[in-house]
Amino acid sequence: MNDTRQAILKVAIILFSEKGFDAVSMRDIADKVNISPPALYNHFKGKQALYMSVIEESFSNKSLQLISALTIDAEPITRLEAFVLTLSQILVDEPEFKRLIQREQLDADQQRLQYVAKEFFNPFFIALISLIKEIKPDSDAHGIAVAIIGMVQKHLEIELLAQFLPGYRKEQHTPVYVTQLTMSMLTVFFGTKS
pLDDT digits (tens, 9 = 90+) for 25-66: 999 999 999 999 888 999 999 998 998 888 888 887 888 899
Per the CB < 8 A criterion, the answer to whether 66 and 134 are in contact is no
What CATH number was assigned to the domain covering residues 61-190?
A: 1.10.357
Give the residue, 82 or 3, on which the prediction is more confident.
82
The pLDDT, as a whole number, for residue 56 is 84
The pLDDT, as a whole number, for residue 96 is 85
CATH topology of domain 2-57: Arc Repressor Mutant, subunit A (1.10.10)
Burial of 166 (0-12, 13-18, 19+ CB in 10 A): exposed
Measured CA distances, 194 to 55, 67, 117 (Å): 34, 19, 29
Q: Is residue 1 over pLDDT 70?
A: no
Boundaries of CATH 1.10.357 in the chain?
A: 61-190
Q: Is residue 108 over pLDDT 80?
A: no
Boundaries of CATH 1.10.10.60 in the chain?
A: 2-57
Alpha-carbon distance of 183 to 191, in angstroms, equals 11
Q: Is residue 189 over pLDDT 90?
A: no
Mean local confidence (pLDDT), 183-190: 91
Q: 100 pLDDT band (50/70/90 cuts)?
A: confident
Q: 3-class SS at 158?
A: coil
Mean pLDDT rounded to a whole number for the chain: 90
